[in-house]
């Protein structure tokens, strides 16, 4: 089958019209891609050299990248001759449909905005929330990344995290230790309190003010419960607590102060 001249001419005309637009769109895409990489890299360096929170930095960079790619896509499509107004309207309708289908992701996005606005925690702080605990490593648009004390990598949706109770263990510089120990009903309470007070005095990491306190807080089934309260620096909390627990056991054994365990008497009738 021979191709007539009347068939080749429209093809040539169409090629002359479309090829320059395609080439121009490719050039714009490459230039835009380079500009997006350079601009995000520049903004990241400026953020890193400033005092802006790392979580806010990550969130803003993610948002900026999405916006720049969206604008580049609209520009490339317009260069190809596609009416951008109609495309934007179509994109809006598609976005609405996708938004309805991705309500969870939108909730996570809104949660990320709330977290960065209210700042209940920042990168590097240890928190408990939504049933998990860990040190905050990153706060991005949709998720917050935690590192647990035993090295687990935890990813929590922002929507869930922003609507739950959050305990921040790192925000305050000082933290109170609540230490309880049970002694036998036959033990001398005054002597036990004196020994426990000496242990608290010997621990230099307890703050002088507010001063530690020791009280009898409960007459339990098998023990008289003493509670010692003392304030330490946040960074010393766990070391002091572990050391205090070991020292109390050793000292009470040395002073013949019994730390009882639950016991039950059974009387058998014939």
Domain membership of residue 238 as a residue range = 174-254
* pLDDT of residue 184 exceeding 80: yes
What's the whole-number mean pLDDT along residues 35-52?
78
Spatial CA neighbour of 54 closest among 132, 138, 131:
138
Instruction: Judge if 63 and 144 occupy the same domain.
Output: no
**Strand order from edge to edge, sheet including 143-147:** 153-157, 143-147, 132-139, 126-129, 166-168
Q: What is the pLDDT of residue 2?
A: 47
Instruction: Judge if 82 and 13 occupy the same domain.
Output: yes
> What percent of the chain is predicted at pLDDT more than 70?
80
* pLDDT of residue 104 exceeding 90: no
Instruction: Judge if 66 and 135 occupy the same domain.
Output: no
- Whether 67 maps to a domain, the answer reads yes
Give the CATH number, domain containing residue 249: 3.30.70.100
Report pLDDT digits (tens) over 50-73: 666 666 677 677 777 878 887 878
H helical segments located in the chain: 5-48, 54-79, 84-101, 103-118, 158-162, 189-202, 237-254
What's the whole-number mean pLDDT along residues 197-210?
93
Instruction: Judge if 30 and 77 occupy the same domain.
Output: yes
Q: What is the pLDDT of residue 40?
A: 82
Instruction: Judge if 16 and 90 occupy the same domain.
Output: yes
Instruction: Judge if 72 and 88 occupy the same domain.
Output: yes
What's the whole-number mean pLDDT along residues 120-142?
89
- Report yes or no: 133 and 169 within 8 Å, Cβ to Cβ: no
58 or 35, which is more confident: 35
**Whole-number Å distance between alpha carbons of 14 and 19:** 8
**Strand order from edge to edge, sheet including 174-183:** 174-183, 224-233, 213-219
Other CB atoms within 10 Å distance of the CB of residue 223: 20
- Report yes or no: 200 and 216 within 8 Å, Cβ to Cβ: no
What's the whole-number mean pLDDT along residues 30-36?
85
Domain count within the chain: 3
- Report yes or no: 224 and 216 within 8 Å, Cβ to Cβ: yes
Instruction: Judge if 190 and 138 occupy the same domain.
Output: no
What's the N-to-C CA distance of the chain in angstroms?
115
- Whether 259 maps to a domain, the answer reads no
Instruction: Judge if 157 and 202 occupy the same domain.
Output: no
- Whether 121 maps to a domain, the answer reads yes
| 32-41, 55-64, 116-125, 154-163: least confident range | 55-64
What's the whole-number mean pLDDT along residues 166-171?
92
Give the CATH number, domain containing residue 162: 2.30.30.60
Report pLDDT digits (tens) over 1-11: 444 445 566 65
- Whether 23 maps to a domain, the answer reads yes
- Average of per-residue pLDDT values in the chain: 82
H helical segments located in 102-188: 103-118, 158-162
Prediction pTM value: 0.60
Q: What is the pLDDT of residue 49?
A: 74
Give the CATH number, domain containing residue 59: 1.10.287.1260
């Amino acid at each position: 089958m021979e191709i007539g001249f009347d068939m080749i001419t429209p093809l040539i005309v169409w090629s002359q019209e479309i090829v320059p637009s395609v080439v121009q769109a490719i050039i714009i895409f490459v230039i835009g891609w380079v500009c997006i990489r350079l601009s995000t890299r520049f903004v990241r360096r400026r953020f890193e050299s400033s005092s802006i929170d790392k979580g806010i930095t990550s969130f803003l960079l993610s948002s900026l990248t999405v916006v720049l790619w969206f604008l580049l896509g609209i520009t490339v499509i317009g260069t190809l001759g596609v009416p951008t107004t109609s495309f934007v309207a179509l994109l809006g309708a598609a976005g609405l449909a996708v938004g309805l289908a991705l309500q969870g992701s939108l909730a996570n996005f809104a949660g990320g905005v709330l977290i960065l606005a209210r700042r209940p925690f920042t990168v590097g702080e240890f928190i408990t929330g939504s049933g998990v605990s860990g040190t905050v490593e990153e706060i991005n648009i949709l998720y917050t990344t935690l590192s647990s004390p035993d090295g687990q990598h935890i990813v929590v949706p922002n929507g869930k995290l922003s609507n739950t109770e959050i305990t921040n263990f790192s925000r305050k510089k000082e933290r109170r230790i609540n230490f309880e120990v049970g002694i036998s009903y036959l033990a001398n309470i005054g002597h036990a309190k004196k020994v426990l007070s000496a242990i608290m005095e010997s621990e230099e990491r307890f703050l002088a003010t507010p001063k530690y306190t020791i009280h009898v807080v409960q007459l339990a089934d098998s023990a008289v419960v003493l509670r010692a309260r003392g304030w330490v620096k946040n960074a010393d909390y766990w070391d002091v607590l572990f050391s205090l627990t070991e020292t109390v056991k050793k000292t009470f054994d040395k002073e013949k102060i019994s730390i009882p365990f639950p016991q039950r008497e059974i009387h058998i009738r014939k």
